[in-house]
Amino acid sequence: MAKIKEKTLKKLKRKSFWPSIVLFLSFVVVSVFIVTVGINLFAAYIIGAKLTGLYNQAMDTGIMIERFVQRGDNITNAVNYVNRYSRVPTDVYVTDAEGNRIVSTGGSMPLLDEKVNWTVGVDNYIAYMDSEWDYGTEALGDIESMFDFHIPELVDRVFDGPPRGNKGRKNVHDQWMGASIMEQPCWMYVPMHLNGKRLYVKCNLQIQRQDFFYILALGSAALVLLLIPLVFLFINTILNIRMQRRVTKVLYMDPETGGNNWLYFQRYAAKMLGSGWNSRKTYAIVDLHMERYTNYLSCYGSKQGEELLECMDGFLRARMRRKEVFGHYGKADFGLILQCEGGNEEECKTDCYRRLRSLLAELAGLQPERKLHFHAGVCMILPVNATDGNWYQKRKNIDIDQLFSFANTAQDAGHNEAEQIFFFSDRLLEEQSWEQWVENNMQNALAAGEFQVYLQPKYSPTDKRLVGAEALVRWNCPEKGIIPPGRFIPLFEENGFIMKLDDYMLSQIAKLQAEWKVQGKKSVPISVNISRAHFTQEGLAEHISQLVDSYGPKHGLIELEVTESAFFDDKNVLIDTVKQLRAYGFPISMDDFGAGYSSLNSLKDIPLDVLKLDGEFFRGEDEMGRGSIIVRETITLARELNMRVVAEGIEQREQVDFLASLGCDMIQGYYFAKPMPVAEFEARMAADA
């Protein structure tokens, strides 16, 4: 599930709106570039054409002066003639080869130090700035005149102006368009043969209103052309962003709570914890679990269940602080990241504990008509130790799933406890890795025969003879040595592997009994533990009978021990199965009687053969006081119900004597013997015969 979402997210990222934005922005940049370059080129073209015209005029003046000079006139006279007879009088400036003035007309002169090179196409024009030209103020004035439209006047003339006819109207228009809006006087160098003299002709570069309008029209047309795709691109980008937002919202929405889902939690929790700013803060990752949610669903239906989750989501949303995240996990769990205040780990834990306690109390009263039960597992996330003054050091390798699994382990570990809040610890981690190891190795261990049968003898307290035994399993692991059953039986009961193990033990004992019979050895009844998990299995009695029969020993030699706790499950099924097993001839004993809750009632309902008194009766300070009264009364009770009694965990001689005096049938305990391998037991049995 998470993988599919991860993939979808990656695809989404790939299709994200960034390419559209980048495309849009690049298009804007390219458009601006094209328009600017286009306008510049066009402006350069217009100016180039004007320069060529001006240069040609200057050349005409130059040619005339050259002719006069070639005719024999001196340069001053030549200049004066040309100026006098020229259609348009032109200012001229002549110097010798060193740049010293020889003759000049007009008020101004070229600034020979301020040379400008203009290249238009293949032609190169050399020009000089004018000595009297003040570019700044003139240009400003011209720019003002550029916008000097006199629109009302024009409109009057065009629509209802004086009756001048079409020609008159055209003239007004041409005059207006032809008006100069920018002027740049300059001096052009004209290369003529003037006996080593240099000739400069003053030109006036004019930008007319029409030039400006041509450029404006071209720029506008280009802009409009580029604007159309630009608008499309813009709309597309906006739509893309909106679409993306909607998809992300759906992706992060939990279908049951309507709030944040687990993917959201994973992403944002990792992002928040991983940021450098938050690395010096202490956080707690919490698995908030509602108990018996499935019961709630069966009682009130799935719709109400969803409403409850929705309500929890709303409640949590209101209680979370800034920079805290939560999300729905699985059925009735929420993951939370809480920020904890405090100077050290203990203070932070206390802060977290207090906050969770009030959260859980409020949650319990979420529905006024019924009380809800919650508990929470917590894993602390401590601040990063900044080294080398690197305060911005980030939390590395944050695995939210792993951290949450720690919180979940803590929550799980305290499942049956009265306390509501549990903190994850190294001990829990060890337990967790041990559980993992057991799960990974149990199948192979069974196949490899690593589970071994140990037998603990049962003795008669009166004549001290060996009268029976209990089969107890040991895991003889080549890697870890002998592992006692307490380390793995509870796990097997949880994961169901106990069924296989009990079958294995039963078959080993059936085989052993059959071998003893074949070998003509003395044999005693051996009891085998049958876990309560078996009683959910249909046809259990038949199954056990078939298993034993495949080796062929007498059923009476195999006693089945059922723990007292099994009697609290489905009593009717248990009674039926016990009856069937007894009908097959297997003696049944109630194990651990007196440990946990006393079940005198079950003695009434269930027909049993043996009662095993729990070792706890004989331990503690008052073992021979009040405990002895209970033992005595229980033995009397059992005898009256036609049951034999086995006392377990007997370690002292006085206990043996006491039990003998009460008429206890058998004693199993370290006083006589510890559980031992089969060969050792066989030797002991042979010695006892």
CA 577 – CA 131 distance, rounded (Å)? 124
Closer Cβ to ligand C2E, 34 or 491, answer by number: 491
Closer Cβ to Ca ion, 182 or 471, answer by number: 471
Residue 481 interacting entry, from ligand C2E, Ca ion, none, C-beta within 5 to 8 Å by type: none
| Residue 591 touches Ca ion, criterion: CB under 5 A | yes
3-state secondary structure of 519: coil
Residue 312 interacting entry, from ligand C2E, Ca ion, none, C-beta within 5 to 8 Å by type: none
Shortest separation between residue 301's beta carbon and ligand C2E, angstroms: 39
Determine how many CB atoms are found less than 10 A away from the CB of residue 521: 13
CA 77-80-85 angle, to 5 degrees, is 125
Shortest separation between residue 591's beta carbon and Ca ion, angstroms: 4
Shortest separation between residue 433's beta carbon and Ca ion, angstroms: 29
Residue that has been written with the tokens 């679409």 in this structure: 243
Which residues have CB under 8 Å from 358's CB, separation 6+? Answer: none
Shortest separation between residue 440's beta carbon and ligand C2E, angstroms: 21
CA 508 – CA 486 distance, rounded (Å)? 20
Q: Which H or E run contains 506?
A: helix 498-518
For the record, the structure tokens of 283 come out as 């956080």
| Residue 529 touches Ca ion, criterion: CB under 5 A | yes
For the record, the structure tokens of 376 come out as 């929470």
Closer Cβ to Ca ion, 215 or 667, answer by number: 667
Residues in touch with ligand C2E (CB under 6 A): 456, 472-473, 484-486, 489, 498, 502, 505, 529, 531, 591-592, 615, 648-651, 668-670, 675
Closer Cβ to Ca ion, 435 or 592, answer by number: 592
Q: Which H or E run contains 253?
A: none
State the burial class of residue 650 (Cβ atoms within 10 Å of its Cβ: 0-12, 13-18, 19+). Answer: buried
Closer Cβ to Ca ion, 561 or 682, answer by number: 561
| Residue 592 touches Ca ion, criterion: CB under 5 A | yes
Chain-centre distance for alpha carbon 307: 26
Shortest separation between residue 672's beta carbon and ligand C2E, angstroms: 9
CA 329 – CA 333 distance, rounded (Å)? 5
Closer Cβ to ligand C2E, 52 or 507, answer by number: 507
Whether the CB-CB separation of 115 and 128 falls below 8 Å is answered with yes
Shortest separation between residue 275's beta carbon and ligand C2E, angstroms: 50
Number of residues engaging Ca ion in binding (CB under 5 A): 5
Whether the CB-CB separation of 661 and 437 falls below 8 Å is answered with no
For the record, the structure tokens of 40 come out as 């510049």
Shortest separation between residue 331's beta carbon and ligand C2E, angstroms: 30
Closer Cβ to ligand C2E, 97 or 447, answer by number: 447
Closer Cβ to Ca ion, 287 or 561, answer by number: 561
For the record, the structure tokens of 666 come out as 């058998």
Residue 259 interacting entry, from Ca ion, ligand C2E, none, C-beta within 5 to 8 Å by type: none
What strand order describes the sheet that includes 325-329?
325-329, 333-340, 282-290, 374-381, 421-423
Among 313, 561, 564, 665, binds Ca ion (CB under 5 A): 561
- Cα-based distances in Å from 102 to 64, 82, 151, 527: 18, 16, 50, 139
Whether the CB-CB separation of 304 and 390 falls below 8 Å is answered with no
Residue 485 interacting entry, from ligand C2E, Ca ion, none, C-beta within 5 to 8 Å by type: ligand C2E
CA 375 – CA 334 distance, rounded (Å)? 11
Which segment (71-79, 92-100, 525-533, 636-644) binds Ca ion by CB under 5 A? 525-533
Residue 457 interacting entry, from Ca ion, ligand C2E, none, C-beta within 5 to 8 Å by type: none
Shortest separation between residue 592's beta carbon and ligand C2E, angstroms: 5
Closer Cβ to Ca ion, 508 or 529, answer by number: 529
Residue 75 interacting entry, from ligand C2E, Ca ion, none, C-beta within 5 to 8 Å by type: none
Residue 505 interacting entry, from Ca ion, ligand C2E, none, C-beta within 5 to 8 Å by type: ligand C2E
| Residue 531 touches Ca ion, criterion: CB under 5 A | no
Whether the CB-CB separation of 61 and 92 falls below 8 Å is answered with yes
Which segment (214-222, 546-554, 574-582, 591-599) binds Ca ion by CB under 5 A? 591-599
3-state secondary structure of 102: strand
> Nearest CA to 533 among 488, 509, 563, 572?
563
Shortest separation between residue 530's beta carbon and Ca ion, angstroms: 9
Closer Cβ to Ca ion, 512 or 646, answer by number: 646
Whether the CB-CB separation of 338 and 379 falls below 8 Å is answered with no
> Nearest CA to 337 among 388, 386, 398, 378?
378
Shortest separation between residue 654's beta carbon and Ca ion, angstroms: 21
Site residues, Ca ion (CB under 5 A)? 529, 561, 591-592, 648
